[in-house]
């Protein structure tokens, strides 16, 4: 996640049963109070819509029902809303407004279209998807949200990358590029390659920033360059621009290093209106 702890994630499961299983597993981790389960299931007869439960037996169905019954304990339905709807409303609100407190939403089909959460930084896909549905899903991570979020990351467990490229081509052909419209360009990039590029840039910037430090470039030399005489207040004030640049450069270097580590992920960046 992002260093400011604002970034959060959506995990797309292939069925309600698998989503419930994921939710159960996360209850044994530090994410226990920071994740939510949002599917079309409602623990009442006849209230399964849109999605397949993925349940192969009565025991599996009981597990889904039991999971929902437990997570809805203590939820007081708001006026005109069921307990499930009230729970989902609260989870979505927390995900958008207090992302440090709601780090993960586990879904199947819900929230993959039209759900705007700029803090959403990661999308974990464990479901076969294609074309418009896939493109709409990856767009959930594409909102920029502060200086520390330059990309959204797609972690692909289903080897959908080729489908992603096709989905982007299919959908962007239909976007309105007439005068006055926002540029709908969407870029799909390899996370590792982009991370290495950013790391090289950050290292070069830090090298240039520290080049004026006098030999032998030991700790004392760095203190003199970035702080001056620490006992003289005017020195500290005069050297403040150097220190600020150094702090920012260090943060950029750490972030670049974090995104240059190998992983099965791609990053997206764009300004499309979805």
How far apart (Å, rounded) are the C-alpha atoms in residues 104 and 147? 22
Structure-token match 């959403």, residue found: 120
**pLDDT tens-place string over residues 86-114:** 999 999 999 999 999 999 999 999 999 88
Q: Along the 274 residues of the chain, how does pLDDT read in single tens digits?
A: 445 456 899 999 999 999 999 999 999 999 999 999 999 998 875 555 556 678 778 788 889 999 999 999 999 999 999 999 999 999 999 999 999 999 999 999 999 988 989 999 999 999 998 877 888 888 888 777 666 677 788 888 888 876 666 666 665 665 555 545 444 455 556 666 777 888 899 999 999 999 999 999 999 999 999 999 878 889 888 999 999 999 999 988 887 887 666 554 555 554 333 3
Q: Is position 134 within any domain?
A: yes
How far apart (Å, rounded) are the C-alpha atoms in residues 232 and 154? 50
Q: Is position 3 within any domain?
A: no
Whether 137 and 76 share a structural domain: yes
> And the tokens for 172?
């962007």
Whether 165 and 206 share a structural domain: no
Whether 78 and 213 share a structural domain: no
Whether 110 and 24 share a structural domain: yes
Which domain range does residue 85 map to? Answer: 8-174
**pLDDT tens-place string over residues 144-184:** 766 667 778 888 888 887 666 666 666 566 555 554 544 44
Q: What is the CATH number of the domain that holds 101?
A: 3.40.50.300
119 in Cβ contact with 145 (< 8 Å):
yes
Instruction: State whether the Cα torsion 257-263-266-267 is positive or negative.
Output: negative
How far apart (Å, rounded) are the C-alpha atoms in residues 80 and 183? 40
Residues recorded for the chain: 274
- Backbone φ, ψ for residue 254 (5° rounding): -65, -40
Q: How many domains, the chain?
A: 2
- pLDDT computed for residue 110 by the predictor: 93
How far apart (Å, rounded) are the C-alpha atoms in residues 119 and 65? 31
- pLDDT computed for residue 70 by the predictor: 93
Beta strands in the chain (DSSP E): 8-12, 35-38, 104-107, 120-125, 152-156, 186-190, 265-270
- pLDDT computed for residue 141 by the predictor: 86
Q: Is position 225 within any domain?
A: yes
Q: Is position 266 within any domain?
A: no
User: Dihedral angle at the C-alpha atoms of 54, 55, 56, 60, nearest 10 degrees?
Assistant: 150
- pLDDT computed for residue 271 by the predictor: 39
Give the bridge partners for 243, in sequence order: none
How far apart (Å, rounded) are the C-alpha atoms in residues 171 and 189? 17
């Amino acid at each position: 996640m992002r260093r400011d702890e604002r970034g959060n994630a959506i995990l797309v499961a292939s069925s309600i049963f698998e989503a419930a299983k994921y939710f159960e597993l996360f209850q044994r981790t530090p994410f226990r109070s920071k994740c939510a389960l949002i599917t079309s299931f409602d623990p009442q007869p006849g209230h399964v819509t849109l999605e397949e439960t993925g349940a192969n037996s009565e025991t599996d169905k009981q597990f889904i029902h039991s999971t929902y019954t437990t997570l809805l304990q203590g939820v007081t339905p708001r006026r005109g809303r069921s307990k499930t709807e009230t729970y989902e409303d609260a989870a979505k609100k927390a995900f958008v407004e207090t992302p440090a407190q709601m780090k993960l939403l586990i879904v199947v089909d819900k929230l993959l279209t039209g759900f705007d959460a700029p803090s959403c930084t990661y999308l974990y896909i464990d479901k076969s998807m294609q074309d418009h549905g896939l493109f709409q899903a990856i767009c959930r991570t594409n909102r920029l949200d502060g200086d520390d979020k330059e990309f959204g990351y797609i972690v692909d467990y289903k080897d959908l990358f080729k489908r992603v490229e096709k989905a982007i081509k299919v959908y962007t052909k239909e976007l309105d590029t007439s005068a006055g419209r926002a540029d709908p360009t969407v870029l799909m990039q390899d996370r590792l390659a982009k991370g290495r590029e950013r790391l090289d840039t950050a290292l070069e910037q830090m090298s240039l920033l520290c080049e004026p430090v006098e030999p032998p470039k030991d700790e004392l030399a760095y203190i003199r360059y970035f702080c001056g005489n620490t006992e003289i207040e005017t020195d500290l004030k005069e050297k403040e621009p150097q220190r600020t640049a150094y702090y920012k450069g260090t943060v950029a270097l750490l972030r670049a290093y974090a995104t240059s580590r190998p992983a099965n992920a791609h990053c997206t960046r764009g300004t499309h209106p979805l």
